Amino acid sequence: MEGGTAGKPGVEARTLKGFRDLMPADVLAREEMAAKIRSVYSRFGFVPLDTPALEPLDVLTGTGGEEINKSLFTLKTPEGESAALRFDLTVPFARLVAQYPEKFKLPFRRCAVGPVWRADKPDPGRWREFWQCDIDAAGSDSVSVDAEVVAALCMVMREVGLGRGEFLVRINDRRVVDAFLAGCGISEPQVQKHVLRVVDKLQKAGLENVRRELGPGRTDDSGDKIRGVGLDSAVVEKIVQFISVKAGNRKSVADAVSALVSRTEGGEAAINQLMALDSALEALGISDSEAVFDPALARGLDYYTGPVFEVVLPGAPDFGSVAGGGRYDGLAGRFTGTVIPSTGASIGIDRFIAALRKLGRITDPGSPTKVLVVTIPGTPPGELMKLATELRTAGIATEVFFGQTGVKAGVKDQLALANSRGIPVAILVGEDELKAGTVSVKNMGAGSSERSDIKDPEAYRKAGKAGQVTVERGKMVETVRGIIGG
């Protein structure tokens, strides 16, 4: 056998760093979560679209910033074209809108679910391949659309069972930040980007480290030197004052920020937009306990041009933001030369699930199989398959136990297997049942409940019959439905 022979492996079974294999419970949890998110998004008018995993390299580079460029997985196509795996679902959407103007009557709303890839350092809930669930709205520059995207994120949080205080949407506006930085004498684009990258580290690095990095730089815990922005101390303190603004509600934060930026070029207009966003959020029923204005929010991607936001779960701070987004009016213009105002948000499904698991707010879904047809000596396999076909035709997920090579499994072993997989019903048909035209239907949950506190072996054996009934073959489906519901 090429590559090795039985008993003598030739290749180590392994996964790449930052990647993972998903067991059935993980896949089912992801599918269930994606379905809940899609359900919410559809209520806001977002329709499904999809794009390829691979994009031309020049489509992706220069959109997310220097750090994103470094994290791209690149390759060559068979034709020799440079390509990369998509790092998010937003840039491909902008490319799509620009490429097919005849197919999209603006304004247009879409949602998408799929994997993206980034060669980042793996962290809790952060992998190099992960799934996102996106919404994007193209064609309108109304701040009300930004507010609706925030409202959709809030509705998703409520849909999965999170209440007030268990999630928080942090909101800022890049126009406010740009006006503030310009007022500080920071107008060179590369310096502004450096400042934003440093401020974006605030939650992880802390205020003092941010202060040092805005100035001469610092040494991190590993001993590595981190280059500073090189701002003088007075400017650094102005930025620290700006990102430290806190208040009891969105309007109060906007008022406090207004005092710092309103006299700068573009500052008044930016603050007016922030006030308009607050009014739209109020109209949508988004409270100050669910969404706040936070001048410290920067969002690392370079393509944002207006409001930016992210969702955090205060009870799971190690996971950082589980969702984020913002307005990106210039992204499609890279391809068209004209502005197509757009805004959107993305939920990192895998990180979101991991955070909810840590909070104990999500349980792994059980097996999709509802019935196990048990193999009993003397019962022809064809009869078992007929039973399974009848159940499947009735819409009931059914598995027949055909045995495991080299392992003898009795009825007890098969029932134990059903229990371990969370299969709620077992069907048993022996020679007697075949002759009588009956089947035995066992409610696995009832049997487990009856035996849970029994110590006597004989009583335990008898209790094993609990929840088991023998019915006519024609009543099998009805009896199973009575147990599983539906």
CA nearest 90: which of 70, 110, 67? Answer: 110
Query: In this structure, which amino acid lies at residue 346?
Result: S
Average pLDDT for 314-339: 92
* Choice among 22-31, 145-154, 470-479 with the minimum mean pLDDT: 22-31
431-432-436-438 Cα dihedral, nearest 10 degrees: -80
* Domain that residue 294 falls in: 24-358
Percentage with pLDDT > 70 across the chain? 93
Sign (positive/negative) of CA torsion 96, 100, 101, 107? Answer: negative
Within 61-115, where are the H helices? 66-70, 90-99
Residue 355 CA to residue 349 CA, distance in Å, equals 10
Residue 196 CA to residue 66 CA, distance in Å, equals 12
Whether residue 433 is predicted with pLDDT greater than 70 in this model: the reply is yes
Residue 324 and residue 461 in one domain: no
Residue 235 lies in a domain: yes
Average pLDDT for 434-448: 90
Residue 425 and residue 450 in one domain: yes
Residue found under tokens 């007697």 = 432
SS3 100: coil
What local confidence, expressed as pLDDT, does residue 263 receive?
78
Whether residue 39 is predicted with pLDDT greater than 50 in this model: the reply is yes
CATH of the domain at 414: 3.40.50.800
Q: What does the block give as tokens for 97? A: 């809108």
Residue 146 CA to residue 59 CA, distance in Å, equals 25
Residue 342 and residue 402 in one domain: no
Percentage with pLDDT > 90 across the chain? 74
Average pLDDT for 420-449: 91
Q: Are 30 and 349 in contact (CB under 8 A)?
A: yes
SS3 133: strand
As a whole number, the mean pLDDT across the chain is: 90
CATH of the domain at 233: 3.30.930.10
Measured in residues, the chain has a length of: 486
Residue 452 and residue 338 in one domain: no
Residue 251 and residue 383 in one domain: no
Residue 283 lies in a domain: yes
What local confidence, expressed as pLDDT, does residue 145 receive?
98
The C-alpha angle with vertex 481 and arms to 442 and 428, in degrees rounded to 5, equals 25
Q: Could you report the per-residue pLDDT of 251-295, keeping only the tens digit for each? A: 999 999 999 997 777 889 999 999 999 999 999 999 999 999 999
What local confidence, expressed as pLDDT, does residue 464 receive?
52
In this prediction the pTM is 0.87
What local confidence, expressed as pLDDT, does residue 365 receive?
76
Residue 147 and residue 195 in one domain: yes
Q: Could you report the per-residue pLDDT of 305-325, keeping only the tens digit for each? A: 999 999 999 999 988 899 999
Average pLDDT for 419-432: 94
The angle, 0 to 180 degrees and rounded to 10, between the axes of the packed helices 267-283 and 250-261 is 170
What local confidence, expressed as pLDDT, does residue 399 receive?
97
Task: Give 457's pLDDT tier (boundaries 50, 70, 90).
Answer: very low
What local confidence, expressed as pLDDT, does residue 27 receive?
93
Q: Are 392 and 447 in contact (CB under 8 A)?
A: no
Residue 238 and residue 95 in one domain: yes
Average pLDDT for 111-140: 92
Number of domains in the chain: 2
CA nearest 325: which of 301, 295, 341, 351? Answer: 301
What local confidence, expressed as pLDDT, does residue 367 receive?
84
Task: Give 458's pLDDT tier (boundaries 50, 70, 90).
Answer: low
Within 184-231, where are the H helices? 189-199, 202-205, 207-214
Q: Could you report the per-residue pLDDT of 45-93, keeping only the tens digit for each? A: 999 999 999 999 999 997 767 778 889 999 999 999 999 999 999 999 9
Residue 75 CA to residue 85 CA, distance in Å, equals 8
What local confidence, expressed as pLDDT, does residue 314 receive?
96
What local confidence, expressed as pLDDT, does residue 204 receive?
84
If one counts every other C-beta atom within 10 angstroms of the C-beta of residue 160, the result is 18
Name residue 83's beta-bridge partners. Answer: 56, 75
Residue 107 and residue 165 in one domain: yes
Sequence-distant (6+) residues with CB within 8 A of 439 are 387, 427, 428, 429, 433, 470, 471, 473, 476
Is residue 21 exposed (0-12), middle (13-18) or buried (19+ Cβ within 10 Å)? Answer: exposed
Q: Give residue 148's region: left, alpha or beta (phi > 0; psi -120 to 50).
A: alpha
Residue 105 and residue 164 in one domain: yes
More confident: 363 or 12:
12
